[in-house]
Amino acid sequence: MAEALRHTGATVVVTGAASGIGRALTTRLLREGANVVAFDVAADKLAELEKEAGGAALVTVTGDVSVEADVRCAHDAAVATFGGYDGLANVAGVMDWFVPAHELDDDTWERVFAVNVTGPMRTTRLALDQFLRRGRGAIVNVASEAALRGAAGGFAYTAAKHAVLGQTKSVAWAYRGEGIRCNVVCPGAVDTNLGTSATPRGDFGIDKLRPVLRLRGPSVDPDQPAGTISWLLSAEAANVTGAVLVADGGWGAG
Ligand SMILES: NC(=O)c1ccc[n+]([C@@H]2O[C@H](COP(=O)([O-])OP(=O)(O)OC[C@H]3O[C@@H](n4cnc5c(N)ncnc54)[C@H](O)[C@@H]3O)[C@@H](O)[C@H]2O)c1
């Protein structure tokens, strides 16, 4: 396969690594020769990952991506174990139960923004500090179809994923002369555990979305977006930065 061992010698920090897209990305990066620091809030699932894919190239760190001290643990683990890192994949995320604006409670808003927006801000800030010193680095954020339109999530998730596009473009522009790239992938439906926060809390929000959600097509295996993220992290994408890569099977083309 063309992608075999394309990350040999590289180290990547992956958030949301214990499940779904992040887990598929972690196992793929290991197959492709990378060292991986796998970060997630779910300790039990990280332990499963360790059992399945563990070895000298994998370090797992349990923590909450919205908590600075936890994120620093992942950063420090990458530095202590592998001498630093070359890539960061911001995959951790939660949905918002399709809650529309007039039904939104503060807790939902704050949690969705903490994980989906504050989290990538914290990991990106620490990674940039190191990438600037090394003169290289690649960041890939994971947004959603909800970053591109109003009809793919609730109010908080839609606003948060639009913010991830802004984070991506700001970093891509500011550091384009420093050897640092930043891109964002917008997947369509993927077969993962995200559904736990995707169960509609009421009828109003989901009823408005149904005509669009019907068009999204079947859910794909998480290795598909993982392959796209891996490519963006790799040297093959050396001149790609600030890109919003829509990987939704054509859903958004309609
Ligand atoms: N599944 C889809 O259809 C789909 C579509 C578009 C975008 N996405 C995005 O893909 C990303 C990955 O989601 P997934 O579908 O693989 O779901 P998933 O639930 O299978 O995986 C998400 C992982 O993030 C972790 N996580 C949640 N909150 C965290 C926190 N505070 N700190 C650290 N880790 C945390 C979870 O424990 C889980 O392991 C998310 O950003 C999501 O918004 C998913």
State residue 3's pLDDT score: 59
Query: Which residue numbers are catalytic?
Result: 157
* pLDDT at residue 199, as a whole number: 84
Spans of all domains in the chain: 11-249
Of the CATH numbers 3.90.1150.50, 1.10.3720.10, 3.30.530.20, 3.40.50.720, which one belongs to the domain with range 11-249? 3.40.50.720
Residue 19 alpha carbon, nearest atom of ligand 1: 39
28-42, 57-71, 209-223: least confidently modelled range: 209-223
- Neighbouring CB atoms inside 10 A of 171's CB total 25
The pLDDT value given to residue 54: 82
Q: Are 14 and 25 in contact (CB under 8 A)?
A: yes
Q: Let me know: does 14 contact 38? Beta carbons within 8 Å.
A: yes
Ligand 1 pocket, residue 209 CB under 6 Å: no
CA of 92 to the centre of ligand 1 (A): 4
What are the pLDDT digits (tens) for 59-103? 999 999 999 999 999 999 999 999 999 999 999 999 999 999 999
Determine if ligand 1 sits within 6 Å of the CB of residue 22: yes
Query: In whole angstroms, what is the distance from residue 172 CA to residue 133 CA?
Result: 17
- 71: nearest Cα among 24, 130, 125, 143: 125
Give the ligand 1 atom nearest the CA of 92.
24
Kind and range of the H or E run holding 246:
strand 244-247
Alpha helix ranges (H) inside 91-222: 106-113, 119-134, 155-174, 203-213
pLDDT reported for residue 254? 82
The arithmetic mean of pLDDT across residues 112-134, rounded, is 97
pLDDT in the model for residue 193: 87
Residues 6+ apart with CB under 8 A from 209: 98, 151, 152, 153
Answer with the residue of higher pLDDT: 93 or 252. Answer: 93
Per the document, the length of the chain is 254
Confidence check: pLDDT of 2 > 60: no
Using the mean position of ligand 1's atoms as its centre, give its distance from the Cα of residue 115 in Å: 9
Sign of CA dihedral 17, 22, 25, 27: positive
How confident is the model at residue 198, as a pLDDT? 77
